[in-house]
Amino acid sequence: MTAFPSDPDDETLRNLVEALGKSGQAVSIYDAEDNLRYANETYRGIFLKGYEGPFTFTEILRHGARNGIGVRIDGGDVEALIARTLPRRRTVPRKSFESDFLDGRWFWMDHTILPNGWVLTVGADITALKHNEKSLRQAHEAALLASRTDQLTGLPNRRHILELLDEALDCARASSADLCVAVIDLDGFKGVNDTHGHDAGDAVLNHFGATCRARMRPQDRLGRTGGEEFLLLLPGVRLNDALRLIEEIRSGFPAARLRKGTLELPCAFSAGIAEVLPQDDRSSILFRADRALYAAKREGRNCTRIAFER
């Protein structure tokens, strides 16, 4: 590189930067006027590729922005970054922070104001740690999702759909919003298992869940509470509209195709709907919806009944 600034004259400082320069870390020293006075090979590789000056903090940032090197800038506005950074560059004697670079690496930067007003920055490559952190976060998110999901249907499992019900009840109480819940039970499901085996029963459950999801509104939530039972949350509607929505799901409900399409099993269901009242909690609303479901079962199945009781 041509016209690179000379090393600092102070012997102690020179010994320090020589030791740091051998460490594989990114090391730089800027003087009190923010002129770059020293940069080791790692720092030069990040910020100074093809650059011949002027070697000031702001011009190095601009060079990086023009050439796609150096620090990643949110929004791509280097002047806004400079305006934010310069006033606080020397406000505290020492600070540490993460930096995300355009080459995909992450560095932990240790920024120290020396007694003479110069700035020493030492950056340690933490890319591997960030990748491990991302992997751990993804593993945690996957485990959390698995703990909330019914493995067969991909729907929220019993615990999660009940949590969603609690959240919906809190929201309805806080905003006086309408909310209906429907308890759903597949008709004749035991006969499917007894006649065709549990694999056929699993296929019917999966088919039911997938078909319902395709016919629901985006804001509705369906979960499997166990066996052939499901819970449907219908926010923002009163009883009559909830009944209409469920009957739209029921209308022309396709049969489940099994064994490469050679066997068709009708997929009928009974449902009980209850509208949330101001005093309702989880137990009371589910109790009323269950009573409506039992009425649908008694009255011939493959129908929906409403809980009017208060």
Q: Tell me which residues are annotated as active site.
A: 228
Report how far apart, in Å, the C-alpha atoms of 160 and of each of 62, 90, 133, 206, 274 are.
Answer: 50, 50, 26, 18, 20
Peptide bond into 54 cis (omega under 30): yes
Whether residue 39 contacts residue 27, with contact meaning beta carbons closer than 8 Å, is answered with: yes
